[in-house]
Amino acid sequence: MSGKMRVSAAPSAKQITSSVGWSSLQIIVEQASLFLVFVILARLLDPTTFGIVAVAVIVSELGKVIASNGLATAVIQTCDLDEAAADTAFWTNFAVAILIGVVMIGMAIIVGGPWQQVQLANALAALAPVPFITSLGAIHAARNIRGFGYRALALRTLAANVIAGFVAILLAIGGYGIWALVAQRLIAESVLTIASWMIYPWMPRARFQPRSYHTLLTTGWHVTLTNLVFQLGSRVNEIVLTFALSYTAVGVIRIGFRLMDLTTQFAVRPFSSVALPALARVAHDRPRMAHQFHQIQMMSALVLTPAMVGLGLVADPLIPLVFGPQWTGVIPVTQVLSLMALPICLNQFATPVLTAVGRADVGFRIAIVQLLLGLFFCIIAAPYGATWVAIAYVTRAYITLPWVAFNLLRFAGVRPAVALRSVAPAVACSALMAIMVIPIDYWLLRDLAPVLRTAAKVAIGGGIFTLAALIFAGPKLKNAIQQLRRPNASQKNVAPADTLEPIVPA
């Protein structure tokens, strides 16, 4: 493959819907396999040991962000990508990943020596190759995403996580503990990289073009720093608890945040992964971009909001049932974090929108504000335990909502009122679900066995939400189905952003 590869015209509604479908399959497979291993490890490990592993994983994930995310995103967004630029992005990621691996090994030596944290040191050293392995396939995957190749990515993820999950489960059952998690990550990253090369058989040439590097870096470094700061913001609670309390508290907060992350991955990531390439192609037409933004936002809210609220409703019987009685401290943490539904719905797509309009620097400033406020609230709350840390996290999210909305309006023309209207039906129906399920659970379900109580809550809550959505959002659903069946029509005569009706998928 040589020469320039030009991004095609704006994607149709059919193309976006297909991409979301395949991306959804990818997320379901990936998160299901990861969660299965996660549950097994949580049952086998005590909270203290689990907290140690969580700290090592934080370092590994931050290394992955630095090693590959920024330039890969720049490759996706670039309208005209020549081979020299692609080669430059690949070898830059390659070099940075090696440096990160060396840094992680150095950290392991310090942690295992002067700090005498041998288990943490072993986990850090074992996970050091992860950023390097990821960097080898990041640009291949990015070039595939440019063409909306989500079917191939879904199959790639299926293979990687089935293989890695199977091996990790065997190791966990065999009593290998943290090494099951380490092996799962190493195997998954290796298979993903190999599959990326098979799906997009491109061999980078040994060359580095400074001009291309600076062009990609203009977007890439902002995206890298933004994602790095967002990662720190989402994990700052564990970092502070490591120093303020104990690894046990870290383990408790990690389980709670992992459940929130799992729900978010299932409900939001299929849409957010499609958002950047879709929005970047229509960034020159702000009304059309705003239309697609609200379309994706409302799709996500209809899945995320009932899932998050539902997780809080079933936390009491579900967590001891799934993870074991040693994790009952996670119940109030999960219930508090279920209140994150609205901020996630409104904020999740801010970075793709700002990146699409060439203002990744604004996304970085938003991330910095969120990180600093989160750190401030977390330091205050940490001495009081994991539940108060979760309360601090939710408080920070609601306080920064107006700041995010202001920046989206100023730099991308996304009106806050339209965004609120996009998510309002899902939020209202989810609130109604909670208002009805809580008294039903208190009076009728609390004496049932955990399995029956969980199943009853899910059935009742799901029925209430579905019925409410059909009653209050029925006309919009019908209109959305008609528009998606006429994909070409949805690309014409798009109204200004503040007059659009958000579109919901069939």
Note the pLDDT of residue 405.
Answer: 86
Give the residue with greater pLDDT, 290 vs 42.
Answer: 42
User: pLDDT band at 236, cuts 50/70/90?
Assistant: confident
Render 61-126 in DSSP notation, one character per residue: HHHHIIIIIHHHHHHHH-SEEEHHHHHHHHHHHHHHHHHHHHHHHHHHHHHHTTS--HHHHHHHHH
The number of angstroms, rounded, from the C-alpha of 461 to the middle of its chain's C-alpha atoms is 25
pLDDT category of residue 444 using cuts at 50, 70 and 90 = very high
pLDDT digits (tens, 9 = 90+) for 380-418: 999 999 999 999 999 999 999 898 888 888 887 778 887
Q: pLDDT at position 499, please?
A: 30
Higher pLDDT pick, 317 / 168? 317
pLDDT band at 20 (very low <50, low <70, confident <90, very high): low
How confident is the model at residue 22, as a pLDDT? 58
DSSP assignment of 229-243: HHHHHHHHHHHHHHH
- Check residues 440 and 212 and name the one with the higher pLDDT: 440
Per residue in 34-92, pLDDT tens?
777 778 778 877 787 778 878 888 888 888 888 765 788 778 777 677 788 888 889 99
CA distance 396 to 378: 9
- Break the chain into its structural domains and give their ranges: 1-208, 250-497
- How far apart are the C-alpha atoms of 320 and 447, rounded to whole Å? 15
pLDDT over threshold 60, residue 460: yes
List of residues 6+ apart from 389 with CB closer than 8 A: 237, 240, 241, 253, 378, 381, 382
Q: Is the pLDDT of residue 339 over 70?
A: yes
d(CA 33, CA 24): 14
Residue 230, token pair as written in the block:
């967002």
Q: What are 82's strand-pairing partners?
A: 4
Q: What is the DSSP string of 458-472?
A: HHHHHHHHHHHHHHH
Residue 15 has a pLDDT of: 53
- Span 172-199, average pLDDT: 87
Average pLDDT of span 423-444: 93
pLDDT digits (tens, 9 = 90+) for 300-335: 788 889 999 999 999 999 999 998 888 999 999 999
Query: Which helix H or strand E contains 375, and what residues bound it?
Result: helix 360-381
Query: Which residues are 4's β-sheet partners?
Result: 82
- The CA distances from residue 293 to 140, 296, 421, in Å, are 26, 5, 13
Q: What does DSSP assign to residue 327?
A: G
Report residue 478 as tokens: 């019908």
Task: Choose between 426 and 496: higher pLDDT.
Answer: 426
Confidence of residue 495 (pLDDT cuts 50, 70, 90): very low
Confidence of residue 8 (pLDDT cuts 50, 70, 90): very low
Q: Which two tokens stand for residue 358?
A: 């060439």
Averaged confidence pLDDT in the chain: 80
Q: What pLDDT, on a 0 to 100 scale, did the predictor assign at position 329? A: 92
The per-residue pLDDT for 448 is 93
Helix (H) or strand (E) holding 417: helix 416-440
pLDDT at 164 over 80: yes
Cα distance from N-terminal residue to C-terminal residue, the chain = 37
pLDDT at 142: 83
* Cα 403 from Cα 400, distance rounded (Å): 5
Distance of alpha carbon 477 from alpha carbon 506, whole angstroms: 7
Alpha helices, DSSP H only, in 178-246?
Answer: 178-199, 210-244
Four-residue CA torsion sign, 480, 484, 490, 496 = positive
Q: What average pLDDT does the segment 216-243 reach?
A: 80
Higher pLDDT, 389 or 268: 389
Tokens of 448: 């049932």
Structure tokens at 110: 């310090």
In this prediction, residue 91 carries a pLDDT of 92
pLDDT of amino acid 481:
42
Confidence (pLDDT) at 319: 94
| Per-residue confidence band for 503, with pLDDT thresholds at 50, 70 and 90 | very low
Closest C-alpha to 378, from 367, 368, 393: 393
Choice among 136-150, 227-241, 246-260, 282-296 with the minimum mean pLDDT: 282-296
Residue 151 has pLDDT above 80, yes or no: no
* pLDDT over 80 (residue 449): yes
Chain centroid to CA 305: how far?
Answer: 15
User: pTM for this one?
Assistant: 0.74
pLDDT band at 168 (very low <50, low <70, confident <90, very high): confident
